[in-house]
A and B are shown apart, each in its own frame.
Chain A
Amino acid sequence: MLMYRQLLQPKTVAEAYELAQKHRLAPLMAGGCWIGLGKWRWPMVIDLSGLDLRYIREEENYYAIGAMATQGDVERFEPFHTYGRGILPKAVHPILGVQFRNMATMGGSVAARFGFSDILPALLALQAEVVLHNKGVMALAEYLTYKERDVLIEIRVPKTPPAVALATLRKSVSDFPFLTGALRQDETGYHIYIGCRPSVVREAVQAGEILTQKGLAGLEEAMVAAASELAFQTNSHASAAYRQAMTKVLVKRLVQEVTSWT
């Protein structure tokens, strides 16, 4: 249940950043869906709803998704229905129910860098960038290891997407996934991202290189490489061994899907 003693309500992103630096233990409250799951009362939260960050805009070279745009907004944004064969609506659609997605924000999902995120692999495959108040524009891949406290303003995805594919595995509808994956095929070759291992999504570099060099002839080898080059762990949703085994299947599905683009 979402509970807090003190609510700080910045009116600008700069003010939010200052508050975030001053109160380093106070969570930044976007949709409030995750910080509300515990049973404790936060001493203080920094509310981001007054910053006018709920938007999805089409710019010249990219789509800008405001940090407070909800997952539901992404699902309903018409250009995304065909963009990248609908990869973004496809990424958010399995997340709990309609009501939840009307509250959970894209910024909250990205900034939290959840291991179980359905969204991060898709954004990585699209080579998304994030815009931060202090650090400015940064590749999402870099942001995943960025340690400084900053305020996420928007997420950018290139207007013309490469060939991308997304696949997730979950035990039942609306549950957390136990394995996620995405793939991009562009002029540099294949790039495979595997998440929910259960830690945060990472690129399976060797597997991508094998596919880039050998094409579909290297698929079996790439499947094995992806499963062996990444670390997997056990949690309540799946064992490490099961995740590792299913990674091979996921890579195969991703390659098959992206192959249908060409």
Chain B
Amino acid sequence: MDIKLIVNGKTVSVNVEADEMLLTTLRNQGFFSMRRGCDTLNCGLCTVWLDGDTILSCSYPTFRAAGHEITTLEGLAEEASLLADCLAAEGADQCGYCTTGMMMSAMALRRKNPNPTDEEIKEFLVGNLCRCTGYESHLRGIRRYLGEVQK
């Protein structure tokens, strides 16, 4: 299937199999920020934005993304840098495998709810699993990032 994707504001023409998932397509195009994890919609490693909403690219057929705005971490580099610093400062980054997916969710949360409560942060990130840090450091890091953005 020949389709056109809009990735981080740029149009990309790709030829994909009917059952190629967006994660595979994006990685084949050189966008490596999203990782392959569970492949069963559970872990959140492959999180990208589709028209501003977070989705799991491991299970999203690429053909369905045609014509929609796809955003990866590469397209949010400056903001991502700030968030990464905040997460690191709070010890929320150990093996780092979950971090990019977690960041995509955190930055989406800020756009939908700039002043979330701790409970709202936890609820928004429930689809991002981390096996290192126990989440409390993520909560502190995201709280710190939201504060920095508002300065």
List chain A positions with a Cβ less than 8 A from chain B: 1-7, 32-33, 36-37, 41, 47, 49, 72, 93, 96-100, 102-103, 173-174
Expressed in whole angstroms, the minimum distance between the Cβ of B117 and any Cβ of chain A is 15
Further 4 A-B residue pairs, CB within 8 A, beyond A2-B59, A93-B123: A36-B41, A36-B59, A102-B54, A174-B127
Residues from chain B with Cβ under 8 Å of A32 in the complex? 59-61
Residues from chain A with Cβ under 8 Å of B105 in the complex? 98-99
Expressed in whole angstroms, the minimum distance between the Cβ of B125 and any Cβ of chain A is 8
Closest chain A residue, CB of each to CB of B40? A37
* Cβ < 8 Å to A, chain B residues 76-116: 105, 108
The answer for the CA separation of A47 and B66 in the assembled complex, in Å, is 15
Once the chains bind, are A174 and B60 in contact (CB under 8 Å)? no
The answer for the CA separation of A100 and B108 in the assembled complex, in Å, is 14
Closest chain B residue, CB of each to CB of A49? B64
Number of A-B contacts (CB under 8 A): 70
Once the chains bind, are B61 and A2 in contact (CB under 8 Å)? yes
Once the chains bind, are A100 and B127 in contact (CB under 8 Å)? yes
Closest chain B residue, CB of each to CB of A5? B19
- Pick the contact of B19 from A3, A49, A96, A98 — CB < 8 Å? A3
The answer for the CA separation of A186 and B15 in the assembled complex, in Å, is 55
The answer for the CA separation of A173 and B59 in the assembled complex, in Å, is 22
Closest chain A residue, CB of each to CB of B21? A2
Residues from chain B with Cβ under 8 Å of A4 in the complex? 18-19
Answer whether residue B14 sits at the interface, using C-beta atoms and an 8 A cutoff. Answer: no
Classify chain B: how many residues form its interface, as a range.
20 to 34
- Pick the contact of B55 from A3, A6, A7, A99 — CB < 8 Å? A99
Closest chain A residue, CB of each to CB of B127? A97
For B47, B56, B58, B105, the residue with the greatest tally of chain A CB atoms inside 10 Å of its CB is: B56
Answer whether residue B141 sits at the interface, using C-beta atoms and an 8 A cutoff. Answer: no
- Pick the contact of A1 from B39, B50, B126 — CB < 8 Å? B39
Residues from chain A with Cβ under 8 Å of B124 in the complex? 98
Residues from chain B with Cβ under 8 Å of A173 in the complex? 126
Answer whether residue B25 sits at the interface, using C-beta atoms and an 8 A cutoff. Answer: no
- Pick the contact of B56 from A3, A7, A103 — CB < 8 Å? A103
Closest chain A residue, CB of each to CB of B64? A49
- Listed from nearest, the 7 A-B pairs whose CB atoms lie closest are A97-B127, A7-B18, A1-B39, A99-B54, A102-B53, A97-B126, A99-B56
A1-B39, A33-B41, A98-B126 given; A103·B19 CB < 8 A: no
The answer for the CA separation of A6 and B61 in the assembled complex, in Å, is 13
Expressed in whole angstroms, the minimum distance between the Cβ of A209 and any Cβ of chain B is 38
A49-B64, A99-B44 given; A7·B53 CB < 8 A: no
For B19, B44, B53, the residue with the greatest tally of chain A CB atoms inside 10 Å of its CB is: B19
Residues from chain A with Cβ under 8 Å of B21 in the complex? 1-2
Once the chains bind, are A1 and B59 in contact (CB under 8 Å)? yes
Residues from chain B with Cβ under 8 Å of A5 in the complex? 19
Please, could you name 16 A-B residue pairs with CB atoms under 8 Å apart, sorted by A?
A3-B19, A6-B18, A32-B60, A32-B61, A72-B53, A93-B123, A96-B127, A97-B127, A99-B41, A99-B44, A99-B47, A99-B56, A99-B105, A102-B50, A103-B56, A174-B126
Q: What does the 1/0 interface line of B32-64 toward A look like (CB < 8 Å)?
A: 000000011110100100100111101111011
Closest chain A residue, CB of each to CB of B47? A99
Residues from chain B with Cβ under 8 Å of A96 in the complex? 41-42, 126-127
Expressed in whole angstroms, the minimum distance between the Cβ of B71 and any Cβ of chain A is 13
Closest chain A residue, CB of each to CB of B101? A99
The answer for the CA separation of A33 and B54 in the assembled complex, in Å, is 15
Residues from chain A with Cβ under 8 Å of B72 in the complex? none
Residues from chain A with Cβ under 8 Å of B50 in the complex? 102
Closest chain A residue, CB of each to CB of B36? A1
Residues from chain B with Cβ under 8 Å of A102 in the complex? 50, 53-55
Once the chains bind, are B40 and A1 in contact (CB under 8 Å)? yes
Closest chain A residue, CB of each to CB of B48? A99
